[in-house]
């Protein structure tokens, strides 16, 4: 197949899934054309069958606001027409599904371009619900030939919040379990935890929805009981506030803000427990990557997280904001070696058996076939 993929190319779960999907489809012999405003950040090596088309937005005195969605539409039309695309797969509904719909309409006299939209999270649960987007999101979803959601939770939310009656296929997030696999990270450990302290880790884009402050408060309680360190990976709007909280709690020596990092596997392999106390999480790709490295996960019981983290098997889930309980769960695992080993191997097993790329990518391929 000849497939166009549009996604947000910067840090973020939807961009990661879109990019890894494109790479895997190319390795399986399909021709993949990425269409976005920048090269997706995980597209950092040459792969045959992958092409990148940059969307350029021009500035003009009359255009006070960028007209990216329209420039994207024109690029989609151009690529679909001259590269003979069979379908466009857009990730994150706003504005990608709308741009794709317009491209399809422009081309309809000359080609039957199919559109697949994958809903990822806040496009449905947060931003999409704003009055300035809601009718457009509903319309664009209804006009897509195929729609997928990354969890059963997100599918239900879409159907109820937007009064949509369309079929939505649930295709979960996936991970390369060969790449994200348990391993030694001795040198990194020695530097971060020279006295053998336990290491808790959190990766996110530091938006309010991630409740990174809760992560720090959970760690404070753990740290009072056992020697430990907290690694915070990523960056975003809440980072300064989190750094302030660490100063206020006197945790600056124990909490390391690593910022955006590429060496995620090494960091996860140096760590013992992954914390994700989010306010809303449609799937939780970061937690899956940690599980794939054998890390038990402690999460809130929101969104798609309970579909990923089996409570009391490969981690624990608790009510949003229940810092005491999450800290208790972390201490339970960190002070009980046997229990920790069982949870760690359950986490790895769950990732390999249910969410490896070899299990999930064919689901997208089959879905494309159905749509075509
Ligand atoms: O929806 C967002 O906040 C952004 C989106 C992204 O692009 O990073 O994240 C969502 O998509 C991921 C990949 O499908 C999911 O694993 C995340 O759970 C989801 N984030 C939220 O729902 C907050």
The CATH number that applies at residue 63 is 3.40.50.2000
Q: Residue 73: pLDDT band by 50, 70, 90 thresholds?
A: very high
**Ligand 1 centroid from CA 92, angstroms:** 9
Percent of the chain with pLDDT over 70: 100
How many structural domains are present in the chain?
A: 2
**Ligand 1 centroid from CA 120, angstroms:** 5
Residue 182: inside a domain? no
Same domain, 350 and 363: no
Same domain, 232 and 332: yes
Q: Which atom of ligand 1 is nearest to the CA of 303?
A: 22
Same domain, 226 and 106: no
Residue 181: inside a domain? no
Same domain, 52 and 165: yes
Residue 87: inside a domain? yes
Residue 300: inside a domain? yes
What number is the average pLDDT over the span 22-50? 95
**Ligand 1 centroid from CA 14, angstroms:** 6
Residue 231: inside a domain? yes
For residue 59, pLDDT over 90 is answered with no
Same domain, 284 and 367: no
Same domain, 164 and 242: no
CA distance 113 to 77: 10
Same domain, 208 and 346: yes
Q: Which DSSP symbol is given to 311? A: B
Q: Which DSSP symbol is given to 249? A: T
Residue 180: inside a domain? no
What number is the average pLDDT over the span 332-356? 98
E strands, the chain, in order:
2-6, 31-36, 50-54, 87-91, 114-119, 146-149, 169-170, 198-203, 228-233, 255-259, 273-276, 297-300, 315-318
For residue 333, pLDDT over 80 is answered with yes
What number is the average pLDDT over the span 308-333? 98
- The pLDDT, as a whole number, for residue 12 is 85
Same domain, 104 and 36: yes
Domain with 59, as residue range(s), is 2-174+356-371
- The pLDDT, as a whole number, for residue 11 is 72
What residues form DSSP beta bridges with 200?
230, 273
Q: What residues line ligand 1, using a CB cutoff of 6 Å? A: 8, 12-15, 17, 92, 120-122, 150, 173, 209, 280-285
Same domain, 258 and 213: yes
Q: What is the mean pLDDT of the chain?
A: 96
Q: Residue 187: pLDDT band by 50, 70, 90 thresholds?
A: confident
Same domain, 70 and 162: yes
What number is the average pLDDT over the span 171-195? 92
Same domain, 151 and 289: no
Same domain, 143 and 198: no
């Amino acid at each position: 197949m000849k497939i166009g993929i549009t996604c947000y190319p910067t840090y973020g779960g939807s961009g990661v899934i879109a990019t890894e999907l494109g790479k895997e489809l190319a390795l399986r012999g399909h021709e993949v054309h990425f269409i976005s405003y920048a090269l997706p950040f995980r597209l950092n090596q040459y792969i045959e069958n992958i092409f990148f088309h940059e969307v350029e937005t021009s500035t003009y005195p009359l255009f006070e606001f960028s007209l990216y969605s329209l420039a994207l539409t024109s690029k989609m039309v151009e690529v679909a027409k001259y590269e003979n695309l069979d379908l466009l797969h857009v990730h994150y509904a706003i504005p990608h599904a709308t741009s794709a719909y317009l491209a399809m309409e422009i081309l309809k006299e000359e080609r039957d371009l199919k559109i697949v939209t994958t809903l990822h999270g806040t496009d449905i649960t947060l931003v999409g619900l704003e009055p300035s987007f809601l009718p457009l999101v509903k319309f664009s979803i209804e006009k897509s030939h195929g729609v997928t959601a990354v969890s059963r939770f997100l599918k239900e939310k879409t159907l109820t919040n937007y009064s949509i009656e369309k079929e939505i296929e649930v295709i979960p997030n996936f991970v390369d379990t060969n790449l994200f696999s348990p391993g030694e990270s001795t040198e990194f450990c020695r530097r971060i935890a020279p006295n053998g302290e336990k290491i808790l880790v959190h990766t996110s884009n530091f938006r309010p929805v991630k409740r990174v402050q809760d992560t720090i408060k959970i760690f404070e309680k753990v740290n009072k009981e056992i020697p430990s360190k907290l690694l915070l990976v990523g960056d975003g709007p809440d980072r300064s506030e989190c750094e302030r909280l660490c100063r206020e709690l006197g945790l600056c020596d124990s909490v390391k803000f690593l910022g955006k990092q590429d060496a995620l596997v090494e960091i996860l392999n140096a760590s013992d427990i992954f914390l994700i106390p989010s306010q809303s999480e449609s799937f939780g790709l970061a937690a899956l990557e940690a599980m794939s490295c054998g890390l038990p996960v402690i999460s809130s019981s929101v969104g798609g997280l309970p579909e990923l983290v089996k409570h009391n098997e490969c981690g624990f889930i608790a009510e949003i904001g229940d810092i005491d309980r999450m800290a208790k769960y972390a201490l339970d695992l960190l002070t009980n070696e046997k229990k920790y080993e069982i949870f760690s191997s359950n986490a790895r097993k769950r990732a390999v058996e249910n969410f490896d790329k070899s299990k999930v990518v064919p689901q997208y391929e089959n879905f494309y076939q159905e749509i075509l």
